[in-house]
Structure formats: structure tokens, C-alpha cells
Chains A and B, each alone.
Chain A
């Protein structure tokens, strides 16, 4: 299969204005990935699917990654070819920030397998996928606020209770249920 650099060059030849870069992976697995700009994201994905050399007809895995220090959310697509039996080609897209510019193009029109997984990324990370046919929360309930997989997510204070709290739970219980004032103990209600 072509190297990520070759794929990048062919994408740039096809879409001269596109922003595509190779993100190196320093680990032993050496699965390098392609970082695509959000503006032409769906066109690049369609190219990867339909190109006769690549034919990445199968999107195996879609997931989000939160990078609070770098200040963006990232969506990672792992693409394989079932017809030519190669892969993975890893496609990444990044949001502009983590607050209000979190829209990325949905790739569900390109690969149907993104449907539930993009819903999951929306639910747990808060990336909004433009063009998704049915973007609703999938694992959390509809009324839930916030996105639990973000690194700065703070869980609600009273979500669990232990009959014999200890450690962190005890500290949390003390915060949540302040001790009664001194002298009040044993008096009971009148």
C-alpha cells in the first residue's frame, strides 16, 4: 500500500487548495496518519473511498480524542479496504477550538458505519457533525448536559453513595453533606 506521504501528495494533486499533513506516530506500531482540514474533509474522504488504488471501502473505527492543552478536539477514522485487503489509512480532523467552533463534516454519507460512532463522538466529546442524518445522543440520555469523555469533565457530586464511604468517596461525601454544627449531635429533633 502507498505510504501516507504518497497519499497526501495525491490528495494535494487532486485538491490543490486542501490542507493535508502527515502526523507521524513515534511508537513501535508506526501507524502514521493523515490530518485533513475540515473544509474539504468529506471530499477527501470520498476520494479515499473511490480512488482505484486505495479503495478504502470500509471505515472500521471512528473515535474522538480530547486535547485540552493543544486546545482542540480530534476525530480519528481508521479506514481499510475490504476489496484490496489493505489498511489502515488513518484520517484525522481537528476542530478549531473546544468551545463553540466544534463543527466537523460528517462522513456518514461516505461510510454508513460512521452513523452510530459519530453519534457517540458527539455524545461523549461534543463534536458536532454537519450533515449527519440523525445526530442525537446515543449512550447518555437526551437531557444530559456536558460531554463525559472530555478530559476536563467533572462528574456530578452526588452521583453515587456508599454505605461505608472511605477515601475519595468520603472526602466527597463530606463536601456534599457538611457535618452538623458542634453540640448539635445527640440532641435530635424536638
Chain B
């Protein structure tokens, strides 16, 4: 029997449809939502079974953006995968870079100079600001607030992207981290620009929150919608703001203390109800904590090299071994699992995609809600299809 002759696919479980007893309900309607639906944030598809407007069953369909990122990673050298990690979650290339660089550094026992660690924290927190700002904008867009909140969010995002561009040469595909430090040092005046942006960001958040947080329509569309119980969230491997909105105080910046995060003072906001509104609110509060971390990091960043002099870029061959390393990305826990056999390429290169695993409970969250709420729930999960499909 060859590899292609595996046993047939197991049958899928029966539809999870509630019994409908009253005679006014008509037939169930199956709708294929996506992959070109604007609310799915990319090429994501949901096969929804509807009773009127109520979701009775929802099956996510993946793979429209699949390019077997992991196979590419196994066929290229360690360093060549760095620009590919930009394309995973293309809003947060800086944190993807860091997650991958950290995994390879742990695999090869590579040290990182102090200034580079500070730069990494600054870039990761800027990425978090950028991602959460965009998410708030997209969520409001999904809720029907057409244009204004998203444009406000993109105005701020553009300022952060300008900083990334002046540092790395690219707005979104930064390709900035290396094994043992950062590619370049910050140019003259760059840190002052970051300081100016960070000092002004609180004011933007105040303005944004005044517009939205107490907004009656936003509250009506998100409160008590898509409630996520904490125990289920833990079992389903939900991470990031979605997990903390469900009331579980689990933040890898605190738990693992990677980088220089133990040096900074910040709090981990958690939600009370685990509903969509909490997911929005937790992200807003996280942005305020990110501003605190940024201010501390900008005060404390030392002079010095950004690259370890012992780091090898060419002919890099880690000793045999394996590592699983994870960091707190803006969307959740992004991890890399690498196996080295001593060669120039990783034997196994695996990305743990937070966006995909956070979608595990999409059906559970949406059942019984209307289809318009399903759109808002999906928006609050915060997915990027480049990472879901890899």
C-alpha cells in the first residue's frame, strides 16, 4: 500500500442543528459566505446553515491562501525564512521576525546584545499598537460603522508604518531581525520620532474611545454577543487578547518573560464576560499598557551594538537538537518549532499560527446568533489569512 492509498476520510459529525418545533420555521438555508466576502478579512470562507437569520451551523473552510510555508522553510536556509515570516501575519511582521529569531537563537544558543533587546521590545509594542488600532477599526467596520473609525485607525497606523519604513526600508515586510540582534541600528533621530508618536498616542486613544467605547450602537452590537467561557477557551488553546477577554490572565510577556519584558512595569487587562465588547475593550486597554512599556523602553535604551559579534550569518548550521519557542504576538501566541539535524536548513520548520487556532471556537461562538453578529464575532477574533492558511 502506498502513501496515497490511506484509509478513506472519516465521516464528518452530523449537523449540530437544534430541534425546531414550531411550524413557522421554514427550511434551513445553506450559505457559502466567502471566500470573497469583505467581512472575512481575506479569503476565508464560512459554510453557514441559517434558519431565517439565525446561525444553526457554521463550518470554516481554509486553504485559499495556502502555499505550504513550512515546506518552503525546510527547503531554504535558516536566514532565508526570515523574509517569509513577514508574510505570515502581514500586519505584524516585526513580531513574526522576533518570534522566529528567538526560536533560532534558542536552538543555537545565541546571545543578543542589550540595545537589540530594547529595540525588539519597542518594535513589538509598536506592532501591538498598530494591530490593535487596526482591529478596532475593522471591528467597527464589520459592525456597520462604515469608514470613519477605520480611517482614523489607518491614519495612526500610517504613522507607525512610516517609522518602520525609515528603520527597515519597508512599511510592512520589515525583515528586520537577525539571529543575534537586529539588522541595523536605528538611524539618527529615529528614537525621537518614536517618542513623539508615543507621547501623542494616548491623546489619539482618548479621542477614539470618546467616539466609540460608550457608543450605544457599538454596545448593542457587541455586548453579550459571542460569549466565551474561560474553561472552554483554555481547552481550545485560545490565546492573546481573546483569551484574556475571557478572564484568563495569561500573557507570555509575564509568563515566559522573554526579551527584557521582566524589566518593564505593565498590567495585563482581563475581561469579565468574555463577549465581543470585552474583546474590543481588552485591546484598547492593552494599547494603553503598550504605551507605558514603550515609554519605559525609550527611557532605558542603552547605546551599544545591535548585533552580537559572534553571530554567524553565513554558513549558519546549528547543532542537532530541537526547540519550541513562543512569544506573545498581537493576535496571540505565535510559536516556532524547529528541528536541526546539523545542516544549513531546518529539518522541520513549524509555525504555530494563533489566528488559525483562535478560529477553533468560531462555530461555538456563533451558534444561535444572527448572521450579522457572526460577522462581528469573526471580526473580534482578529485573523489574518496569511497566517491562517500559511
Contacts and interface: CB of A to CB of B under 8 A. Distances in A.
A145 B63 contact: no
Given A139-B389, A140-B66, A149-B68, A112 B6 contact: no
Interface in B3-38: 3-7, 9-10, 12-13
Interface stretch (A7-15, A38-46, A55-63): A55-63
A42 to B, nearest CB: 15
B49 to A, nearest CB: 15
Contacts of B320: 26-27
A150 B68 contact: no
A113 B3 contact: no
Given A25-B321, A90-B324, A78 B70 contact: no
Interface in B87-121: 106-109
B62 A78 contact: no
Interface in A82-112: 82, 85, 88, 90, 98-100, 102-103, 111-112
B40 interface: no
B360 A65 contact: no
B113 to A, nearest CB: 18
Interface size class of A (residues with CB under 8 A): 35 or more
Interface size class of B (residues with CB under 8 A): 35 or more
Interface stretch (A128-136, A169-177, A181-189): A128-136
Contacts of A147: 3
Interface string B215-247: 000000000000000001011111000000000
Contacts of A145: 4
B357 A117 contact: yes
Contact of B3 (A90, A124, A126, A141): A126
A61 B337 contact: yes
B3 A150 contact: yes
Contacts of B5: 100
A116 interface: yes
B71 A149 contact: yes
A59 B333 CA distance: 12
A76 B145 CA distance: 44
Contacts of B263: none
Interface in A11-54: 25-29, 31
B375 interface: no
Nearest to A140: B63
Interface string B46-78: 000000000000000011001010110000000
Interface string A64-81: 010000000000101000
B324 A100 contact: no
A85 B1 CA distance: 45
A149 B69 CA distance: 10
Nearest to B68: A148
Contacts of A58: 234-235, 237
B268 interface: no
A137 B360 CA distance: 15
A136 B1 contact: no
A5 interface: no
B68 A99 contact: no
Contacts of A27: 107, 109, 318-323, 340
Interface of A: 25-29, 31, 57-61, 63, 65, 76, 78, 82, 85, 88, 90, 98-100, 102-103, 111-113, 115-117, 124, 126, 128, 132-142, 145-150, 152
Across the A-B interface, the 6 shortest Cβ-Cβ residue pairs:
A27-B321, A113-B237, A28-B109, A29-B323, A112-B236, A100-B1
13 contacts: A27-B323, A28-B319, A58-B237, A61-B352, A65-B347, A85-B255, A90-B324, A100-B1, A112-B237, A116-B359, A134-B13, A135-B9, A139-B68
